[in-house]
């Protein structure tokens, strides 16, 4: 099953994707709200309300208002080697906030304060029920599904200190979507994560190369604080980022970046001038 949040008439609705249409899930403004209902899966499966054609759907971030977004850095062996580091004993964790999220087709503004705008394709976990101090062997039952994210990073600001957060939390800089797929729709062992920049392949890597896989991340993160329905865990990016190239390659206004994963669809982002970027309210 594929679930999304759509913008409709200055509001949003939760919806189920059925082929080339979306079926509205009446009574739920977004996927966060739906996942807060313990019976969310049955409600979504039984929805038979208004339909919206896929080519007319205005996709919001798949979960627009998570209570938290937790991100894991340096979690693919290839990317770790690319950045000149050793395999970690523990995950490297940093936060994002709901204000950083944007839709999977929304433009992202280039940043006047930092020209080093980099891409990071990531598999994201969507939490389905409250998880606190969960053991790794039980963690999969807390996963509602998976989605895609592009953790667009301002590398200049990221490098200002040894702590990364300030390069990761710029407003409307993290496209998420296009929809969440339930775990049965993702072949974790074979799915390939890709990034293209202006049609050229930048990243192409199997997600089963993750050092810390979803169940382990849920165990680790839920040891510290409860994970709530609709919370996101970004699992890290593979090799091929702009910073790791010689010479480094960064995005600029006029570029087009796409992130895709087998079974999870595609995020398609135009990089625009700050004046053309969506207003931050």
281 assigned to some structural domain: no
Q: Are residues 48 and 160 in the same domain?
A: no
| Peptide bond just before 178 cis, omega within 30 deg | yes
Q: From 15, 45, 60, give the residue that closes a domain.
A: 60
Q: Residue 131, SS3? A: strand
| Residues of the chain predicted below pLDDT 70 | 79, 82-83, 281
- Report which of 172, 174, 122, 120 is spatially closest to residue 148, judged by C-alpha positions: 122
**Do 102 and 172 sit in the same domain of this protein?**
yes
Q: How far apart are CA 275 and CA 94, in angstroms?
A: 29
Give the pLDDT confidence of 61-99 residue by residue, as tens digits. 999 999 999 999 889 987 677 667 788 899 999 999 999
Q: What pLDDT, on a 0 to 100 scale, did the predictor assign at position 13? A: 97
What's the confidence (pLDDT) of residue 243?
Answer: 93
Same domain assignment for residues 173 and 115? yes
Residues 38 and 99 in one domain: no
């Amino acid at each position: 099953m594929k679930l999304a949040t759509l913008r409709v008439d200055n509001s949003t609705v939760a919806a189920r994707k059925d082929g080339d249409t979306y079926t509205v899930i009446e009574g739920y403004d977004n996927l966060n709200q739906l996942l807060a209902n313990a019976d969310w899966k049955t409600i979504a499966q039984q929805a038979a309300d208004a339909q919206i054609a896929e080519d007319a759907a205005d996709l919001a971030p798949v979960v627009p208002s998570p209570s938290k977004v937790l991100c894991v850095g340096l979690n693919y062996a290839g990317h770790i080697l690319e950045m000149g580091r050793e395999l970690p004993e523990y995950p490297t964790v940093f936060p994002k906030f709901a204000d950083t999220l944007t839709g999977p087709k929304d433009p992202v503004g280039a940043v006047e304060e930092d020209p080093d705008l980099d891409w990071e394709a990531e598999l994201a976990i969507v939490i389905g029920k409250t998880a606190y101090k969960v053991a790794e062997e039980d963690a999969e039952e807390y996963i509602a599904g998976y989605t895609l994210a592009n953790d667009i990073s301002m590398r200049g600001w990221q490098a200002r200190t040894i702590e990364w957060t300030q390069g990761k939390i710029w407003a409307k800089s993290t496209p998420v979507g296009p929809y969440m797929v339930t775990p049965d729709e993702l072949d974790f062992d074979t799915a390939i994560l890709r990034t293209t920049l202006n049609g050229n392949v930048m990243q192409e890597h199997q997600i089963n190369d993750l050092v810390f896989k979803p169940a382990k991340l849920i165990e680790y993160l839920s040891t510290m604080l409860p994970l709530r329905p609709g919370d996101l865990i970004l699992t890290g990016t593979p090799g091929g980022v702009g910073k790791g190239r010689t010479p480094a390659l960064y995005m600029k206004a006029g570029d087009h970046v796409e992130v895709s994963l087998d079974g999870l669809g595609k995020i398609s982002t135009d990089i625009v001038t700050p004046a053309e970027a969506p207003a931050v309210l």
